[in-house]
Structure 1
């Protein structure tokens, strides 16, 4: 007889509007211009999604100079430094920018502060494509990066009274609050965004995990190891009291020994994980346990972003 198990499905989970739009952009570009279409950097951080698009005719490269000039190139949802579209124009390439509109909003913000003579402090993760893209909107030295509250103490801005801060869109909401506090304590005149730059999808997924946490013995986050928002969900689960909070890419990655004696499991997914992988994990539990599922919903998302006009026009 199968052991009973309660599965709590966090909602919202999985794809966000920016990821949805980015994937659609690649598919529509292949439809419009035929294969191959080049994509600079993984369009979104998910192997299953990337492999699926590769099968349809997308070629993923790390840098623009790996692309031939006679094929279209797409820039990933994470955003790119200003130098990248400039280089594409210089080479007379057709390019489509799949940067998430909420990341573009941060780029515009940084630009505006820069025009007003403010130096930027970016709260983000060094080396993450989104951070590289956002810092690359402004000239060298105009954006200072902080990753932790401790980093704030070591900042050496040009002028302490002429600062503004922006954040990566996929950070932990709680961690960011601490860093912002440290910035405001040290630089009382620092200018912040009207509303946090952390996007609605990141915030909503973290809130849903917090709501699920008290009900469960273990949390599984479906997502990629290089996905910032997925890794933050694991941390949020741990901080909310889940003794076992783990990232898995697919059902085959579940450590079933760790599930011994567990009576309730929470399931969520990062913003670039498709529903098919979530269902795969649920099915794996149903194979092994007598499962009762419950949805824990903390928000309803109905955001949709239009694809660029170039893709809506006939070839």
Structure 2
């Protein structure tokens, strides 16, 4: 059963007579939507509410999706940007994107009870950063300035031990004090192709650079981008369901556009501009890792008010990863 309320009023226009509707083929990418880290983060908030009762405070959006956040607000979650907005003795959850070390330290100093919903794959990058700095390496971090995951990762190590790059041009402009002791890490939700180009530039500039032991871009980000590539060439346009502040969702739009296909990002079906579908016979649909399947069905239902839709799911891989809940909540689950 879905943890979210049923959607009402998904279609805001009457259904035209069937003989006036033209056909529209939907190619729906799989995998799409929720990843294991998002599932885990949402479940942590829900179980904290069951265990402690409302309100439970959440620092930052638990995941970047307004529909998810609003559904949790309705259950008693209160979202804040900083801990100084949290009352003393309250229960607080840290978002899936990760937080600087200073945040749990502040929570402990104030006696707040907290749960860390950081995605385990982001936590893995945090631990790698600590080990590299301890080994005397300066880290070049590939990511997007201002993103919560980047802020959280930089907050794991002493100031000055990590440098952010966003582009190949940034690599060319680097001026590191000890080029022989350099390593790199990446944000987990980047473009696979863009990151490969930046990493190639890093290897060319610093031949002895330490690379991560495993892929930093998470499986869900890579899988969703591969799924869009698999359908894009057969589509006239692609719609991505996701939030504008969701890095992995924005990357999906870019992936489609680089395949030469018109693409747009929408948060809900109601945002669809019907003019976008002019001349479209085959429409690709996917959803970012923070967007529930309910929103995909909402979009399909809305399209069915104007078109005779035929759905086809194109699956490129099957995901079976699940992450453990924090101790203390696993029993409640």
Q: TM-score, length-normalised on structure 2?
A: 0.93
Equivalent residues in 2 for 1:79-228 (5 A)? Answer: 79-228=98-247
Match of 2:321 in 1: 303
> What is the rounded CA distance, in whole Å, between the counterparts of 1:112 and 1:149 in structure 2?
26
Match of 1:265 in 2: 283
Question: Quick check: 1:278 aligned with 2:276?
Answer: no
The match for 2:74 among 55, 59, 72 is: 55
Shift of 1:154: 1.6
- Matches of 1:128 and 1:310 in 2, distance apart? 29
Q: What are the residue-to-residue correspondences of 1:7-18 with 2, within 5 Å?
A: 7-18=26-37
Q: Mark the CA change 1:42 to 1:174 in structure 2 (over 3 Å): closer, same or farther.
A: same
Q: Matched residue of 2:71: which SS?
A: helix
Post-superposition Cα deviations, 1:129-159, rounded to whole Å, max 9, x if no partner, equal: 0000011100111110000000011212221
Uncovered stretches (5+) of structure 2, i.e. residues with no partner = 1-18
Q: CA deviation at 1:312?
A: 2.8
CA distance in 1, matches of 2:231, 2:288: 15
3-state SS of the aligned residue for 1:271?
coil
Q: Which runs of 4+ in 1 moved over 4 A?
A: none
Out of 255, 273, 276, the position equivalent to 2:273 is 255
Segments of structure 1 that go 5 or more residues without pairing to the other structure are: none
What do the CA deviations read for 1:213-265 (whole angstroms, capped 9, x no partner)? 011000000000100000000000000121x1000000111110121121000
Length, aligned pairs only: 313
Task: Give distance in 1, aligned partners of 2:225 and 2:137.
Answer: 31
1:36 is the counterpart of 2:55 = yes
- Which one is further off, 287-296 or 170-179? 287-296
**Quick check: 2:324–2:330 contact (8 Å CA) kept in 1?**
no
Following TM superposition, by how much is the alpha carbon of 1:195 offset from its aligned partner in structure 2, in angstroms? Answer: 2.5
SS in structure 2 at match of 1:310: coil
CA RMSD of aligned residues (A): 0.8
What SS does the corresponding residue of 1:291 show, helix, strand or coil?
strand
What CA distance in whole angstroms lies between the structure 2 residues aligned with 1:238 and 1:194? 31
How many angstroms apart in 2 are the aligned matches of 1:158 and 1:108? 23
Alignment deviations for residues 139-196 of structure 1 (CA, whole Å, 9 cap, x no partner): 1111100000000112122210101100000000000000001111111111011222
Structure 2 CA distance for aligned equivalents of residues 46 and 115 of structure 1:
36
Structure 1 residue 65: Cα displacement = 1.1
What does residue 310 of structure 2 align with?
292
Q: Aligned to 1:125, what secondary structure does the other structure show?
A: coil
Contact 2:137/2:182 (8 A) holds in 1: yes
1:313 is displaced (CA, Å) by: 4.6
Matching residue within 80, 91, 94 for 1:72? 91
Asked whether the equivalents of residues 56 and 78 of structure 2 are also in contact (C-alpha less than 8 Å), the reply is yes
Cα distance in 1 between the residues matched to 2:260 and 2:177: 42
1:4-31 alpha-carbon deviations (Å, 9 max, x no partner): 1110000000000000000000000000
